[in-house]
């Protein structure tokens, strides 16, 4: 038995940024629990955080680089791997230019320091217009609406959960997701606290989720129609003289004019929400001194994503709740400098995609067009792809097409710890170390936290021999695409941990000649010192449970980057898009539409290889309302075939009143039964890939975001349980397989 030691670090799996208390024995994490002394999470932990040790110790995790030889991925050393990368990438760049390359950046990049600091230099060095990320299957509409309203796509107000008395939540299910674009460890606890202090929260969702079940009220809404509902509220605020915007807001009257056609009686038809309730909601939001509207995935990944995201904040601004305690407020992260209150503003379309002519947004193109760029011949056809921490084969629309497209690339390199549905196409896979061997600072989420705080976690364990720090991996890739001589990238394998931070500060990342001359901790320290609280990295190291920086404070007008120095309530591009919304008012609704869902023990596509997180009942079911089930002659446990414009899958039916009639739900991130991967646990619990059904041709035009909710589908019965040959009574073979 080795000696036990305790270490503290931030959980890197989701946006809640909980503090973990780890027990270390013999160089392994043997237990993970909530850090009770953590200033932000106060001991909260979810089942994913509790499996931290299993995630880091996963035997399927890659620990050495892989190179594909004769259809097989074989282990090689780092120098050889980078030689193969150079031999694959350089000729493409030299022959066809930078636009023949593309890069896809996945979600975990916002949870690593390497992602926060070393991707921009890599993307810049690559010099391609073909930059893609998970943002365009997620929150891009919010960046765009905030970009136009506040002048910066990063100025995103969050609901002041700890002080609000009335929270209207649309398309978010924090009981499962733990929250997003609102970093709030123990989000459920904070919601319950609203009720305990006499307040309310109301959930708008086509599905009665766990969050909806705990809410004071749940309103079903037809998928994709929240913009109508919110416009109905805005209409009422004007019609009944309830507007109360702050002096920093301009464009109020213009919004009133736009809302004219969206009276509650009109939008009620489309949304399914009673007109009277829409009207009374407007009155309640206006009357409450501390009310907030908050929208997430269900308001972004829809055809009017940017309009919906905008209208959320229009209601907040009109009711006087923007930048007010208990309303929505702008967090102030420790590494971000205060602004001057005005700026150049925000625009999109600085370049366009080659095939579909889609505008650039925030330096990237919609991932919905990645397959077009790979498949469509031409001089600047994408021939080489870099992926970092992404699994687009499961996470992006019409993924079967993307899967085929990736197979046709002349070169692909992935920075990823797993050989999975995406990286199996890579010629080279470069695995980063697991989280316990990395320093951690939340560059993204400290700027989205519902209370200001700071936390840094040094690496808990040293790098394993023969592994390479993720910052170094990205720095070496950057050197290769820049065409610089391959420096013998600092091998980080021999670094000791205790003084890792200091060692880091003393070294130059990736060796001399690399674009980035500072190490991550050095860069962080400099940013903290220049930040609004004048902190140092050492102070963060000395406070392993975090440093509380107090409740959110009003930041208008300092946070603004608009040329006017005002909140632009009615930006022209958004006003113009209202025409598209108006046109949809009279559209015949689809009879059956698909939406997604999340489960507490999943994390997009990549944590299904942890036994504790996949045990139990099959969760990848097609939820169907009893009325639809009867109409389609389906009963619980049947297999059904689901077909959309782009694809067909079959899934196990779960009949439930949780989804409203006309709506079916399937989670995303499943479909692990493809050859050539190395995730044994996931492969034994494969589920089906819902993104085989989502349509890459339909996007929210202002943000380029994919439409992943509200997909028209047709469903027909495949096999009844008792018709499956040799099926044991009461269970189908696949149900048995996943039972414990
Ligand atoms: N239908 C539907 N589709 C969706 C969604 C939906 O609601 N419905 N949600 C969308 C959303 S919100 C998102 S964010 C995307 C996610 O889309 P992606 O980011 O493409 O997918 P993930 O499943 O998060 O895959 C993360 C990858 O990163 C790897 N990884 C994990 N940790 C690290 C690390 O420390 N370093 C590196 N380099 N790699 C690491 C994993 O092995 C995995 O390959 O999916 C989107 N897709
Ligand atoms: N356990 C777990 N936690 C996660 C993740 C995970 O995969 N698993 N992923 C993380 C990531 S990357 C993100 S971005 C966040 C997302 O965080 P959330 O946005 O809270 O995620 P979801 O649970 O997908 O909740 C979206 C809700 O929108 C509803 N919905 C769908 N369409 C519509 C619509 O048109 N209108 C309305 N009003 N509602 C609609 C769905 O029924 C669903 O309940 O979660 C993060 N946390
Ligand atoms: S809620 Fe998120 S941050 Fe907290 S323990 Fe769970 S996965 Fe980790
Ligand atoms: Mo996400």
Is the CB of residue 382 less than 8 Å from the CB of residue 369? no
- Tell me, in angstroms, the distance from the centre of ligand 4 to residue 26's CA: 35
Backbone angles phi, psi at 738, to 5 degrees: -95, 0
Q: What integer pLDDT is reported at residue 484 of this predicted model?
A: 84
- 109 Cβ below 6 A of ligand 2: no
Give yes or no for residue 317 having a pLDDT over 50.
yes
- 207 Cβ below 6 A of ligand 2: yes
| Nearest ligand to the CA atom of 445 | 3
Residue 377: how many other CB atoms lie within 10 Å: 5
- Tell me, in angstroms, the distance from the centre of ligand 2 to residue 83's CA: 41
Q: What integer pLDDT is reported at residue 739 of this predicted model?
A: 26
Q: Which atom of ligand 2 is nearest to the CA of 207?
A: 42
- Tell me, in angstroms, the distance from the centre of ligand 1 to residue 331's CA: 25
Structural domains of the chain sorted by starting position, each given as residue range(s) with its CATH number in brackets: 4-56 (3.30.200.210), 66-128+347-440+453-548 (3.40.50.740), 154-334+561-584 (3.40.228.10), 590-736 (2.40.40.20)
How far is CA 46 from its chain centroid? 18
- Tell me, in angstroms, the distance from the centre of ligand 4 to residue 134's CA: 7
Residue 498's pLDDT band, with cuts at 50, 70 and 90, is very low
User: What's the CA gap between 238 and 255, in Å, rounded?
Assistant: 9
- Tell me, in angstroms, the distance from the centre of ligand 1 to residue 539's CA: 32
Q: What integer pLDDT is reported at residue 733 of this predicted model?
A: 34
- Among protein residues, the one whose CA lies closest to atom 14 of ligand 1: 107
- Among protein residues, the one whose CA lies closest to atom 40 of ligand 2: 298
DSSP 3-state of 457: strand
Structure tokens at 519: 């190490």
- For 698-720, what is the mean pLDDT? 95
Give yes or no for residue 672 having a pLDDT over 70.
yes
Place of tokens 């689901």: 642
Q: H/E/C letters for each residue in 373-389?
A: HHHCCCCCCCCEEEEEC
Give yes or no for residue 731 having a pLDDT over 50.
no
Q: Which atom of ligand 1 is nearest to the CA of 104?
A: 20
- 419 Cβ below 6 A of ligand 2: no
Place of tokens 């460890």: 185
pLDDT tens-digit series, residues 515-549? 344 689 999 999 999 999 999 999 999 999 999 99
Residue 724's pLDDT band, with cuts at 50, 70 and 90, is low
Q: Which atom of ligand 3 is nearest to the CA of 47?
A: 6
- Tell me, in angstroms, the distance from the centre of ligand 1 to residue 361's CA: 20
- For 410-431, what is the mean pLDDT? 98
| Nearest ligand to the CA atom of 10 | 3
Q: Which atom of ligand 2 is nearest to the CA of 177?
A: 3
Structure tokens at 15: 């946006």
- Among protein residues, the one whose CA lies closest to atom 32 of ligand 1: 108
Prediction pTM value: 0.94
Ligand 3, residues at Cβ distance < 6 Å:
11, 13-14, 16-18, 45-46, 48-49, 178, 185
For residue 588, how many C-alpha atoms fall within 13 Å in the half-sphere facing its CB? 2
| Nearest ligand to the CA atom of 389 | 1
- Tell me, in angstroms, the distance from the centre of ligand 1 to residue 106's CA: 5
Q: What integer pLDDT is reported at residue 492 of this predicted model?
A: 35
- Among protein residues, the one whose CA lies closest to atom 4 of ligand 3: 18
Ligand 1, residues at Cβ distance < 6 Å:
106-108, 112, 134, 137-138, 297, 301, 388-392, 395, 415-418, 420, 432, 470, 596, 604-606, 668-669, 690-691, 694, 708
Residue 3's pLDDT band, with cuts at 50, 70 and 90, is confident
- Among protein residues, the one whose CA lies closest to atom 28 of ligand 1: 389
Q: What integer pLDDT is reported at residue 2 of this predicted model?
A: 75
Q: What integer pLDDT is reported at residue 489 of this predicted model?
A: 46
Give yes or no for residue 740 having a pLDDT over 60.
no
- Tell me, in angstroms, the distance from the centre of ligand 4 to residue 679's CA: 22
Residues with CB under 5 A from ligand 4 (ion): 138
In testing the pocket of ligand 3, which one of 12, 175, 183, 185 has its CB within 8 Å of the most ligand atoms?
185
Q: What integer pLDDT is reported at residue 722 of this predicted model?
A: 60
Cα–Cα distances in Å, from 622 out to 210, 625, 636, 641, 715?
A: 17, 10, 10, 10, 10
- Tell me, in angstroms, the distance from the centre of ligand 3 to residue 574's CA: 35
In testing the pocket of ligand 3, which one of 8, 9, 11, 610 has its CB within 8 Å of the most ligand atoms?
11
Residue 617: how many other CB atoms lie within 10 Å: 10
729 CB burial (10 A radius; 0-12, 13-18, 19+): exposed
For residue 273, how many C-alpha atoms fall within 13 Å in the half-sphere facing its CB? 32
Give yes or no for residue 495 having a pLDDT over 90.
no
Q: What integer pLDDT is reported at residue 226 of this predicted model?
A: 98
Q: What integer pLDDT is reported at residue 485 of this predicted model?
A: 58
- Tell me, in angstroms, the distance from the centre of ligand 4 to residue 299's CA: 13
Which residues are within 8 A (CB) of 532 and not within 5 positions of it... i.e. 6 or more apart?
332, 334, 336, 337, 338
95 CB burial (10 A radius; 0-12, 13-18, 19+): exposed
pLDDT tens-digit series, residues 192-218? 999 999 999 999 999 999 999 999 999
Residue 1's pLDDT band, with cuts at 50, 70 and 90, is low
Q: What angle do CA 686, 691, 697 make, to 5 degrees?
A: 165
- Tell me, in angstroms, the distance from the centre of ligand 2 to residue 180's CA: 8
When the pLDDT of each residue in the chain is averaged and rounded to a whole number, the result is 93
Give yes or no for residue 434 having a pLDDT over 70.
yes
Backbone angles phi, psi at 278, to 5 degrees: -65, -45
Facing residues of 19 across strands? 10
Give yes or no for residue 231 having a pLDDT over 90.
yes
Q: Which atom of ligand 1 is nearest to the CA of 297?
A: 7
pLDDT tens-digit series, residues 247-296? 999 999 999 999 999 999 999 999 999 999 999 999 999 999 999 999 99
pLDDT tens-digit series, residues 90-140? 999 999 999 999 999 999 999 999 999 999 999 999 999 999 999 999 999
Give yes or no for residue 508 having a pLDDT over 80.
no
For residue 169, how many C-alpha atoms fall within 13 Å in the half-sphere facing its CB? 35
- Tell me, in angstroms, the distance from the centre of ligand 3 to residue 444's CA: 15
């Amino acid at each position: 038995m080795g000696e036990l030691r305790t270490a503290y670090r931030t959980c890197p799996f989701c946006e809640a940024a909980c503090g973990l208390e780890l027990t270390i024995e013999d160089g392994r994490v043997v237990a993970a629990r909530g850090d009770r002394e953590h200033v932000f999470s106060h001991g909260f932990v979810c089942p994913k955080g509790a499996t931290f040790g299993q995630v880091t110790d996963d035997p399927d995790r890659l620990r050495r680089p892989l190179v594909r030889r004769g259809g097989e991925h074989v282990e090689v050393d780092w120098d050889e791997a980078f030689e193969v990368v150079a031999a694959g990438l350089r000729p493409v760049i030299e022959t066809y230019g930078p636009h023949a390359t593309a890069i896809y950046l996945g979600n975990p990049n916002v949870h690593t320091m390497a992602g926060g600091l070393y991707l921009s230099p890599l993307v810049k060095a690559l010099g391609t217009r073909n930059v893609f990320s998970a943002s365009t299957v997620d929150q891009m509409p919010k960046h765009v609406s905030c970009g136009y309203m506040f002048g910066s796509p990063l100025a995103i107000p969050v609901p002041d959960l700890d002080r609000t008395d009335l929270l209207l939540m649309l398309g978010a299910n924090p009981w499962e997701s733990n929250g997003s674009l609102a970093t709030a460890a123990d989000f459920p606890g904070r919601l319950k606290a609203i009720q305990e202090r006499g307040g309310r929260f109301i959930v708008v969702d086509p599905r009665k989720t766990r969050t909806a079940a705990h809410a004071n009220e749940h309103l079903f809404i037809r998928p994709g129609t929240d913009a109508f509902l919110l416009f109905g509220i805005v209409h009422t605020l004007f019609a009944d003289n309830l507007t109360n915007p702050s002096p920093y807001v301009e464009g109020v009257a213009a919004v009133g004019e736009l809302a004219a056609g969206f009276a509650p009686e009109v939008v009620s038809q489309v949304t399914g929400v009673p007109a009277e309730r829409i009207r009374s909601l407007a009155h309640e939001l206006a009357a409450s001194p501390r009310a907030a509207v908050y929208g997430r995935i269900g308001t972004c990944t829809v055809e009017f994503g940017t309009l919906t995201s905008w209208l959320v904040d229009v209601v907040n601004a009109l009711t006087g709740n923007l930048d007010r305690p208990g309303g929505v407020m702008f967090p102030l992260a420790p590494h971000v400098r205060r602004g001057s209150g005005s700026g150049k503003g925000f625009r999109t379309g600085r370049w366009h995609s080659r095939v579909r002519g889609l505008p650039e947004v925030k330096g990237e193109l919609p991932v919905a067009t990645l397959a077009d760029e790979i498949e469509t011949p031409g001089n600047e056809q994408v021939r080489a792809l870099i992926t970092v921490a992404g699994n687009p084969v499961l996470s992006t629309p019409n993924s079967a097409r993307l899967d085929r497209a990736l197979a046709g690339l002349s070169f692909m390199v992935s920075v990823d710890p797993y050989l999975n549905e995406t990286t199996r196409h890579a010629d080279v896979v470069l695995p980063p170390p697991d989280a316990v061997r990395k320093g951690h600072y939340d560059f993204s989420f400290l700027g989205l936290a519902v209370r200001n705080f700071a936390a840094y976690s040094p690496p808990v364990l040293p790098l394993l021999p023969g592994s390479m720090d993720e910052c170094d991996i990205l720095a070496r890739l950057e050197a290769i695409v820049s065409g610089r001589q391959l420096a013998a990238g600092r091998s980080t394998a021999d670094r000791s941990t205790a003084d890792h931070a200091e060692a880091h500060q003393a070294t130059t990342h990736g060796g001399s000649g690399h674009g980035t001359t500072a190490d991550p901790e050095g860069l962080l320290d400099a940013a903290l010192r220049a930040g609004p609280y004048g902190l140092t990295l050492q102070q963060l190291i000395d406070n392993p449970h975090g440093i509380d920086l107090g409740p959110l404070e009003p930041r208008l007008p300092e946070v603004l980057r608009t040329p006017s120095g005002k909140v632009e309530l009615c930006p022209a591009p958004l006003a113009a898009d209202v025409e598209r919304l108006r046109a949809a008012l009279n559209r015949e609704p689809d009879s059956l539409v698909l939406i997604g869902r999340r489960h507490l023990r999943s994390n997009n596509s990549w944590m299904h290889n942890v036994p504790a997180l996949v045990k139990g009942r099959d969760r990848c079911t097609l939820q169907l309302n009893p009325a639809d089930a009867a109409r389609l002659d389906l009963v619980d446990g049947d297999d059904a075939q689901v077909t959309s414009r782009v694809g067909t899958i079959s899934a196990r039916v779960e009949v439930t009143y949780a989804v409203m009639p006309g709506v079916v739900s399937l989670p995303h991130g499943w479909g692990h039964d493809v050859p050539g991967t190395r995730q044994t646990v996931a492969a034994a619990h494969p589920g089906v890939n819902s993104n085989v059904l989502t349509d890459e041709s339909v996007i929210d035009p202002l943000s380029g975001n994919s439409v992943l909710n509200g997909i028209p589908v047709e469903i027909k019965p495949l096999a009844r349980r008792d018709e499956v040959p040799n099926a044991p009574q009461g269970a189908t073979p696949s149900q048995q397989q996943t039972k414990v």
